[in-house]
Chain A
Amino acid sequence: MTAERVDALVATASDGIDFDGLRVEATDDGYAFETPDADHAGLDEAALRDVAAGSDYVSNWYVWHAVVPQKPDRWAFLRWLEGADVGADVDGSDVVARYDALTEGVTTEWGQLSITARLDDDEGGRRRYEVRHVDDVGRDGLDRYDDPLEARDLATHDERGRYRPLKAAPSLRTGWQFAALDPTALVEVVEAFYPASVPNWYREREGELDVTHWRETMGRQTGMYGVVKTWDRGEGYEHVNWVAEATCDDSQCLKRREWQYDDETDLDVDGGDGQFPCREPCSVVVSGARKWTKLESEQPRTYEFELTPSEKEQLEEVIDAVADGRTDEIREADVSDGANRFRARFLRAKLFDDEGNLAGTPTDRET
């Protein structure tokens, strides 16, 4: 690659180069070549080629202009991965320090991905990326993948084979590794695991993220989803707090929720700590909202049940266990846990009648 990049440098020198500490100019006295480590003037082309050939600054310039994807968001993301972005600390933006770090490997987390950028020893300055699950850092014996399209399959089911409709759910399976991706393939892999995360992250960094808030998204719905508009009755936004707590918490989705009730009204629930933003209620939220719009249109009734204090607490434990996805972790014979299956079966045997009514009390659907 040395010849390619030196040719490219010579071809570009007359336009002037000023990038990551490398300055090259064509003057009446010949070429000027300047880096933090070197300062040459009056070079003829052969001399320029000599000083450029071994320079990391030149390889760095070449990689960022001729090797990596030039789409601004992908470019910025790859720069960010190796700490070269604007606003990074001085060490990170210095090419020599950055190359030292890249020789060791620079690791960044993105959702549940651990991405390590390295210099490719054989390709003078080209970057190679390794991607694995954050829980697999330091583990050997992972299944190796090379084709970015295979990331799509890895993202489809969780560890237990259940379908993952929400790509940013913190349920990515482990045990795989993309060992040596080029920059284009790395972005493909990241986008397969977390679609549109890079462009939205970039827009946010540039101060241009187009957030669409709850009111606007629900107001746009039509067809079978048109009903969700009726849930907002101008009586506050507590119901939307409940939705966000139910579906958008970091325990459910690793995007950082940036949408609020409307332009002027923030939700009271935390948006999470994710690296990349969620700019609009997603289709899972809209589907949930449709269901809740219907359920929440019902009027409360007063029912009378008799429960022992422990039975009341047990109902609360069962709801907690389901809501936290904890039921599978409860040991078979752990009868101290209220959400244990035997405990739940006992409660059902005792409290339900033959029609499944709690405490024999029928559901009152009369209006």
Chain B
Amino acid sequence: MSALVIVAHGSHLNPDSSTPTYDHADTIRAVGAFDEVRTGFWKEEPSFREVLRTVDSDEVYVVPLFVSEGYFTEQVIPRELRLREWDPEAWESDGTSATDVTLTAEDTGQTIHYCGPVGTHDSMTDVIVRRAESVTGDPDVGDGFGLCVVGHGTKRNENSAKAIEYHARRVEEMDRFDEVRALFMDEDPEIDDVTDYFEAEDVVVVPLFIADGFHTQEDIPEDMGLTDDYRTGWETPATVDGHRIWYAGAVGTEPLMADVVLERAADAGADVGNAVETVRERTRQTGSPAD
């Protein structure tokens, strides 16, 4: 028997914080790739400390629904899950390359395949593109469009920006959008000046955040000038300085994120059968690009 446990931040204040976690868990549960699919949270229940004891299986794949490697993936989650002999070095990561490490949970004796965060997985790039498709309603979007990946960014952790830049570079290599940029809330280059960075009239802006909250629904829309007051909402697309800004909301709410979670577990050795293909198909909202 094997189980998937998705661990995420959650919130004391915002019920939408855990919604993507539940949604992706439900998608994966529905394809039957694991005997059990459970969720655990830093700020909600079951807590990281107690989630493993709600799992029957002895073999558990733990996938962090976080954007980047850092404080949560390296310190908080392993500590709270009581992963014996955890050492961040075990991931041998350059900041975006963590895959998985197999450890024992002190608390329950289960074998834990502790995976890198979803945000740095290669297939996250596909989710960013899928997000651009869903916000424009165009499965072939790219030609004549700029794409902007927005991250929080923080001077305290260089990995935070690395993940954003990594995916921006990968989207650029697809040669699908006219221009691709990585911009940030809390460091340069800043999202406030988004229109300065693009020639293209149409720009899709995809925030690399797990859940919608005050950053994605209040700060970023106001910073970009989509609206003066987030409470009054904004148009999609909204016109700013002669550009049409297609603002997507947190990429973590894109249904295809379930695929990244699955792939993380599959990379760590989980036998998920053809679940990856099934999830990729089921989560498509704009029709196939080949249509």
The finding on whether chains A and B are genuine partners in a shared complex, rather than unrelated, reads yes
Which A residues are within 8 Å of any B CB, using their own CB? 69, 71, 74, 149, 152, 156-157, 163, 165-167, 191, 195-196, 198-200, 203, 210, 212, 220, 222-223, 279-280, 282-284, 287
**At the interface, yes or no: B13 with Cβ under 8 Å from chain A?**
yes
B54 adjacent to A165 (CB under 8 Å): no
A196 adjacent to B11 (CB under 8 Å): no
**At the interface, yes or no: B26 with Cβ under 8 Å from chain A?**
yes
Residue in A203, A210, A220, A280 whose CB lies within 8 Å of B79: A220
* B15 contacts across to A, CB distance below 8 A: 156-157, 163
Q: Considering only CB atoms, which chain B residue lies closest to A210 in the complex?
A: B107
B220 to chain A, nearest CB (A): 22
Residue in A195, A279, A284 whose CB lies within 8 Å of B54: A195
A–B Cβ pairs within 8 angstroms, 28 of them: A74-B56, A149-B26, A157-B15, A163-B15, A165-B12, A165-B44, A166-B45, A191-B54, A195-B46, A195-B50, A196-B50, A199-B50, A199-B54, A200-B50, A200-B53, A203-B53, A210-B107, A212-B49, A220-B79, A222-B75, A223-B76, A279-B50, A280-B49, A283-B12, A283-B43, A283-B44, A284-B12, A287-B12
A241 to chain B, nearest CB (A): 23
* B79 contacts across to A, CB distance below 8 A: 220
- Given A149-B26, A167-B45, A223-B76, residue A196 in contact with residue B51 (CB < 8 A): yes
B26 adjacent to A283 (CB under 8 Å): no
B43 to chain A, nearest CB (A): 5
B13 adjacent to A165 (CB under 8 Å): yes
Bound CA span A203–B54, Å:
12
Q: Considering only CB atoms, which chain A residue lies closest to B22 in the complex?
A: A152
- Mark each residue of chain B from 19 to 56: 1 if its CB lies under 8 Å from any CB of chain A, else 0: 00010001000000000000000111111011101101
Q: Considering only CB atoms, which chain B residue lies closest to A287 in the complex?
A: B12
B13 adjacent to A163 (CB under 8 Å): yes
**At the interface, yes or no: B214 with Cβ under 8 Å from chain A?**
no
Bound CA span A6–B48, Å:
43
Which B residues are within 8 Å of any A CB, using their own CB? 11-15, 22, 26, 42-47, 49-51, 53-54, 56, 71, 75-76, 79, 107
* B56 contacts across to A, CB distance below 8 A: 69, 71, 74
**What 10 A-B pairs come out closest when comparing CB atoms?**
A195-B46, A196-B50, A195-B45, A165-B12, A199-B53, A196-B46, A71-B56, A163-B15, A167-B45, A283-B43
Bound CA span A203–B76, Å:
25
A283 adjacent to B42 (CB under 8 Å): yes
Bound CA span A22–B171, Å:
67
A148 to chain B, nearest CB (A): 11
Bound CA span A280–B76, Å:
16
* A212 contacts across to B, CB distance below 8 A: 49
* A74 contacts across to B, CB distance below 8 A: 56
A331 to chain B, nearest CB (A): 30
A165 adjacent to B51 (CB under 8 Å): no
A69 to chain B, nearest CB (A): 7
* A222 contacts across to B, CB distance below 8 A: 75-76
Residue in B14, B22, B54 whose CB lies within 8 Å of A196: B54
B44 to chain A, nearest CB (A): 7
* A203 contacts across to B, CB distance below 8 A: 53
Bound CA span A280–B45, Å:
13
B175 to chain A, nearest CB (A): 40
Bound CA span A277–B79, Å:
22
A85 to chain B, nearest CB (A): 20
* B49 contacts across to A, CB distance below 8 A: 212, 280
B47 adjacent to A282 (CB under 8 Å): yes
* B14 contacts across to A, CB distance below 8 A: 163
Bound CA span A180–B77, Å:
37
Bound CA span A284–B11, Å:
10
* B75 contacts across to A, CB distance below 8 A: 222-223
* A198 contacts across to B, CB distance below 8 A: 54
B174 to chain A, nearest CB (A): 36
Bound CA span A284–B42, Å:
10
* A69 contacts across to B, CB distance below 8 A: 56
Q: Considering only CB atoms, which chain B residue lies closest to A155 in the complex?
A: B45
* A152 contacts across to B, CB distance below 8 A: 22
* A223 contacts across to B, CB distance below 8 A: 71, 75-76
Bound CA span A301–B34, Å:
60
Q: Considering only CB atoms, which chain B residue lies closest to A164 in the complex?
A: B15
* A149 contacts across to B, CB distance below 8 A: 26
A227 to chain B, nearest CB (A): 16
* A165 contacts across to B, CB distance below 8 A: 11-13, 43-44
Bound CA span A167–B49, Å:
16
Most buried by A among B42, B43, B44, B107: B44
List 13 additional A-B contacts (Cβ < 8 Å) besides A163-B15, A165-B11, A196-B54: A152-B22, A166-B45, A167-B44, A195-B46, A196-B51, A198-B54, A199-B54, A200-B50, A222-B75, A222-B76, A280-B49, A283-B47, A287-B12
Residue in A196, A283, A287 whose CB lies within 8 Å of B53: A196
